[in-house]
Amino acid sequence: VPRPRDGGEWAGYFAAQSGRRPRTLLRQALDRFGAADDGARLAIDLGSGAGADTLELLRRGWRVLAIDREPAAIEHLVQHTPDRYRRRLRARVVDFTTADLPPAELIHCGWSLPHCPAEDFPPVWSRLRSALRADGRVVGQLLGNRDDWAAGPLSTAVDTRQLLDLLAGLVIEACKEVEFDGDSFDGPKHWHFFEVIARQPGCRWVAGCQG
């Protein structure tokens, strides 16, 4: 993962990520859904990058809205999407700090929210929460406050208390805190992050609920 920075240099990262296996956390979240009717469910891949996870969602029968502000990411994704999946893919070059998010059963934030400038994060999270349908899930990584990249206005990082506040009202299905010294795309660093799967409670027993 590259360091959060203004207008970052992503080309090398996208090339390195091309064709990689889908992220384990995403696969664990997908396994929690029952079998999907073809194209019945919508997933938003927020900060989709080169699209390895978008392709996994398409492979599993989801409709996908892939959002990334880097044209090279979306071009790469579209070029590598097999024709048979295309009608279920909407890919947009857009900044997620301003993008409208439609109601979705899944919102995947694979290492993208750490790159959200701290001052933009509260409205982004609030729009993400509003877009989650009943029984929908948010899945992804959030940077921890002890990560080397946590300081500075170009990233968003949380401590445990802040994370729990963000997840209040959701059913936390998985929440793993990871901390170690290791490598990154930009060299050695101290890592601290949370991997989260959280579900919007269902409302099928509530009169008038539109789900």
Ligand X SMILES: C[S@@+](CC[C@H](N)C(=O)[O-])C[C@H]1O[C@@H](n2cnc3c(N)ncnc32)[C@H](O)[C@@H]1O
Residues of the shown chain interacting with ligand X in the complex, contacts defined by CB under 6 A: 1, 10, 17, 23, 47-49, 53, 67-70, 73, 95-97, 110-112, 115-116
Residue 139: closest CA among 45, 202, 42, 37: 45
Q: How far is the CB of 21 from ligand X (least distance, A)?
A: 11
The angle that helices 52-59 and 24-31 make with each other, rounded to 10 degrees, is 20
CA distance 175 to 194: 7
SS3 label, residue 16: helix
Q: Which is nearer to ligand X, 44 or 116 (CB)?
A: 116
Q: How far is the CB of 201 from ligand X (least distance, A)?
A: 26
Q: How far is the CB of 61 from ligand X (least distance, A)?
A: 20
Q: Which residue has the tokens 């027993």?
A: 205
Q: Which is nearer to ligand X, 125 or 134 (CB)?
A: 125
Q: Which is nearer to ligand X, 67 or 198 (CB)?
A: 67
In terms of C-beta density within 10 A (0-12 exposed, 13-18 middle, 19 or more buried), how is residue 34 classed?
Answer: exposed
Q: Which is nearer to ligand X, 190 or 203 (CB)?
A: 190
CA distance 125 to 116: 10
Q: Which residues, other chains included, contact 208 with Cβ-Cβ below 8 Å and sequence gap of 6+?
A: none
Q: How far is the CB of 211 from ligand X (least distance, A)?
A: 27
Q: What is the DSSP letter of 38?
A: T
Tokens of 166: 């963000």
Q: Which is nearer to ligand X, 16 or 164 (CB)?
A: 16
Q: How far is the CB of 59 from ligand X (least distance, A)?
A: 16
Tokens of 22: 């889908």
Q: Which is nearer to ligand X, 143 or 166 (CB)?
A: 143
CA distance 107 to 44: 5
